Amino acid sequence: MRSLISPRLLLREWEEKDAAFVLDMYSRREVMRYLGADPQVLTDLAGAQARLTAWRDRQDDVHTVWAVQDRQTGRLLGTAFLVRLLSSGTPLTRADETEVGWHLHPDAWGQGYATEAGAAVLSYAARSGIKPVLAVVNPANEASQAVCRRLGMRRVGSTDRYYNMTCELYST
């Protein structure tokens, strides 16, 4: 169990009982709109459970997909992850490079939680010897690019190497 702690947050592994929250969050267009080349909102619990399974499949000794929760109240806020990027192609294939990412429930936007969770994940990556860590962001996703900048990541350029889409590429 690779939990991480920051001043306001606990990052813990996802559990089956979180499927309802996953459905609530990823059924929202405003959450999904910049994720991947062909974003599909979740429509049922089976889809949420499949997503939990897919996240587990992307984990290894170091790479992890965390549930982000409020340390004080236990309220779930979203997802933070450190995973191998997926290279463009059909199907997508696992790349050697590692990416950091963040998805928050809209109720948790505008409070610095993504930046706080991202900082905890980048510290964990540094402790684990993973360097550099990349972030790939839809060019229209200003909020996420602002998180990258707050974390001190630098924009490297634009790339279509990952996820069958053109992304802004940031690096630690």
Ligand X SMILES: CC(C)(COP(=O)(O)OP(=O)(O)OC[C@H]1O[C@@H](n2cnc3c(N)ncnc32)[C@H](O)[C@@H]1OP(=O)(O)O)[C@@H](O)C(=O)NCCC(=O)NCCS
39 touching ligand X, by CB under 6 A: no
By CB under 6 A, name the one of 82, 104, 121, 122 that touches ligand X: 104
Stated as kind and residue range, the H or E segment containing 142 is helix 142-150
Question: Residue 10: in which H helix or E strand, if any?
Answer: strand 9-13
Closest residue to ligand X: CB criterion: 112
The reply on whether position 34 binds ligand X by CB under 6 A is yes
Backbone φ, ψ for residue 61 (5° rounding): -55, -30
Please, is 91 exposed, middle or buried when counting C-beta atoms within 10 Å of its C-beta (0-12, 13-18, 19+)?
exposed
Residue 158 binds ligand X, judged by CB under 6 A: no
CA angle 161, 153, 139 (to 5 degrees): 50
CB of 31 to ligand X, least distance (A): 5
Site string for ligand X, 40-69 (x = CB under 6 A): ------------------------------
Nearer to ligand X, 124 or 170 (CB): 170
If one asks whether residue 85 binds ligand X (CB under 6 A), the answer comes out as no
